[in-house]
């Protein structure tokens, strides 16, 4: 089996068996292609079924040598492990060459988080005298109120909004569905947008059911949501690295700071493993440490 045919089979497996998004499938495909390019350039080229652990290690060393950082290396390794898991499931291999492959050590990464005051400042910069302003406020309120991924937000349909109970039906990674509450202010803004502004947009075939639309009546793209977040953050004078995911991080952090259990936050975010959610414990501890340094009298006194 060559690299091209095995990658095609892997793509079908990701789409049909794991129900991943096209964005994720493309990312996995690029990871495998990087390994394939390396293996085909060896003095004695090897196919996917003949790659050894040492060749894997040499491949990772090559990634490091060309300046690919540890976090990107870890992501590429994750994609390649998924590829070899597929080959094992298909019984095309007896031994997995990635089994003993070590991922690079990653430093603790704490994403940028907005304070409640910064969230309010961003929302205050939205011009509600325009139809677009009402849509944008509904989007940002939803991101912060329910902690959605941007991919989940743009896929929301009209029937995703469970109006009588103020919940959203969200389809997350792996096409897994979860029900999350939407805050009162966010619900009111979305309801107002749907019933007073969205109804005036042109109807585009195939886009009629999506909740958030552009001015042409078409489903929003992820990049358009990214751009509007950047736009309002700039208007609010916020210089942190801001993206739609920042609202998700802020949502989770504020919940943990307020005393919510990690298990509840895990369910809300749609994390498969609670270890993913545990980053917000570190964020909370960081907040406690900063508060101690700021307000405790002994923390501000110099040591002689």
Q: Is 304 exposed, middle or buried (0-12, 13-18, 19+ CB in 10 A)?
A: exposed
**At which residue do the structure tokens 């019933």 appear?**
195
Active-site residue among 149, 198, 219, 249? 149
105 is catalytic: no
The contacts of residue 300 (CB under 8 Å, 6+ apart) are: 293
**Contact (CB, 8 A) for 9 and 162:** no
- Active site residue: 134, 219, 248, 249, which one? 248
Give the whole-angstrom CA distance, residue 37 versus residue 46: 10
Instruction: Please give the Cα distance from 136 to 127 (Å, whole number).
Output: 9
Catalytic residue among 173, 178, 192, 218: 173
**Is residue 173 flagged as an active site residue?**
yes
The alpha carbon of residue 19 and the mean position of all alpha carbons in its chain are separated, in whole angstroms, by: 16
Does residue 245 carry a catalytic annotation?
yes
Both structure tokens of 161: 């909004």
Task: DSSP for 271-291, please give it.
Answer: -SSHHHHTHHHHHHHHHHHHH
**3-state class (DSSP) for residue 156:** coil
What is the distance between the terminal CA atoms of the chain, rounded to a whole angstrom?
70
Give catalytic status of residue 23 as yes or no.
no
Q: Would you name the residues annotated as active-site residues? A: 149, 173, 245, 248, 271, 280
């Amino acid at each position: 089996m060559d690299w091209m045919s095995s990658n095609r089979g892997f793509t079908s497996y990701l789409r049909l068996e794991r129900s991943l998004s096209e964005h994720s499938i493309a990312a996995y495909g690029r990871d495998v292609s990087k390994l394939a390019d390396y293996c085909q350039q060896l003095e004695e080229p090897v196919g996917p079924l003949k790659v050894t652990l040492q060749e894997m290690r040499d491949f990772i060393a090559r990634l490091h040598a060309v300046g690919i950082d540890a976090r990107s290396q870890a992501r590429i390794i994750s994609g390649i492990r998924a590829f070899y898991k597929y080959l094992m499931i298909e019984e095309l291999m007896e031994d997995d060459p990635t089994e003993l492959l070590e991922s690079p050590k990653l430093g603790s990464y704490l994403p940028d988080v907005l304070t409640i005051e910064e969230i309010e400042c961003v929302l205050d910069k939205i011009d509600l005298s325009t139809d677009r302003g009402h849509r944008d406020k509904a989007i940002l309120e939803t991101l912060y109120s329910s902690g959605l991924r941007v991919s989940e937000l743009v896929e929301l349909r009209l029937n995703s909004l469970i109006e009588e109970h103020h919940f959203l039906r969200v389809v997350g990674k792996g096409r897994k569905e979860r029900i999350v509450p939407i805050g009162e202010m966010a619900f009111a803004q979305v309801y107002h947008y749907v019933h007073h502004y969205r109804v005036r947009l042109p109807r585009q075939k195939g886009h009629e059911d999506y909740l958030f639309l552009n001015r042409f009546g078409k489903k929003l793209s992820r990049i358009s949501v990214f751009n509007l977040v950047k736009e309002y953050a700039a208007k609010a004078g916020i210089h942190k690295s801001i993206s739609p995911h920042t609202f998700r991080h802020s949502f989770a952090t504020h919940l943990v700071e307020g005393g919510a259990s990690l298990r509840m936050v895990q369910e809300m975010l749609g994390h498969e493993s609670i270890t993913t959610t545990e980053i917000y414990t570190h964020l909370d501890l960081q907040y406690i440490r900063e508060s101690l340094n700021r307000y405790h009298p002994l923390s501000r006194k110099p040591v002689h």
